[in-house]
Structure 1
Amino acid sequence: MKKKWKHKTWKEKKKTFRIGAVVCIIFLGLSFIQTPKYEEEDLTFVTVVLTGKPKFKKRVSTKGSTSYWLVLPTKSINYDVTGIDYKYLKSYRFRSDIRKGDQLKFGVVDDKVFCISKNNVDYMQFAKAQFHKQQNQLFIRWLSSCALFLSVIPLVFKEKPKLKYNDGSYHDISFGTIFILGTIICFIIILIIIGPKFLSGSEFA
């Protein structure tokens, strides 16, 4: 049976904060390698002919989250539009204009498509997608950094610190409450600065 937080020893509480610090470091590190942001010069531009109808895919995970992506079949490879970039696909116009046999120009990295054009008409909002990724990464980095700072503070103290009041009594400093409230406040402040629309990294339908 798990101990309640207030019944844990200082050593046990520090272990929890140490684990929390490691988790924050992992999230901080992942923000630099997941969903990379590209510049236009990072893309390779290729001209392709669609060998099949573009396929809009949908997957529902066991946790209930839904992801969407687009598969673009060509003779050599199936290209994909996924993640945040999928959000900035001009879906309605794309569905109306693009057919099997069309010649398209793609801006790609490996098999991932970040720009699509036909007859000089753009079907993806590349700059907006990359800005969204940048803001999303900043949100994760700032929140992870705040949580990391709040996790590290208790680790500085070898013994459980106490506050002395004017009447001579001592009271424990509730680092658990400080962590929770501090993280919530940081979340709200960062959300206001970054903007709620950039919080999500999942795909819209």
Structure 2
Amino acid sequence: MSDERETEFYGLMSAARSALDLAAEALALFEERRPAVVELSIGPGLMIEGLRLEVSTPGRLADRGLIGAQAFLSYLVIVENCARKLHRLDAVPPHIRLNAQRAVVRIQAVIDREVRNTAEHIDDRVVKFADKALISALILEGDMLCSTRADGSTGMVSISKETMHAVFDAFYEIVWTPEDMARFRAGGAVRRDA
């Protein structure tokens, strides 16, 4: 691998690691909202596509929960983008490119980019649908961030350690085998949530 390509490879690995660190912080921010969640014990509550919407007392904790959920999703999409770029690097060995392609598929299995697009680009949708009715909502339901996709359906992403671990493992198995990862974790060298 040329020096330039090696720099690009390590730059992408570093960017993904930073995004994973920030995703862990965003997950912690999301978890802070739990004391603000109000239990709805009477009746089914407000439902969308079979999901009961989370009701929180207004204020700082509820706001931090939504901000944390949106940031978590955004940072994990950055990891997906890094894997996608690694797959396209001609100079890396073929097995690394194949592993990067597999990582993209595994990350997409737990990350709905349409939810991120709604969360981050609502202004584009407002302009696009200015002459029509626009329903767009970002809601929390348990550990799920739910959002109206551009086609009107509801998209969901689990804001959880399980999602974090799935993305972490998918990305790092680009260069390490699952056995290596298990050995690193057993020795304390790899922490998926830090």
Q: TM-score scaled by structure 2? A: 0.29
CA radius of gyration, larger in: 1
Alignment TM-score, normalising by the size of structure 1: 0.28
Identify the structure with the greater helix proportion: 2
Q: Decide which structure has greater strand share.
A: 1
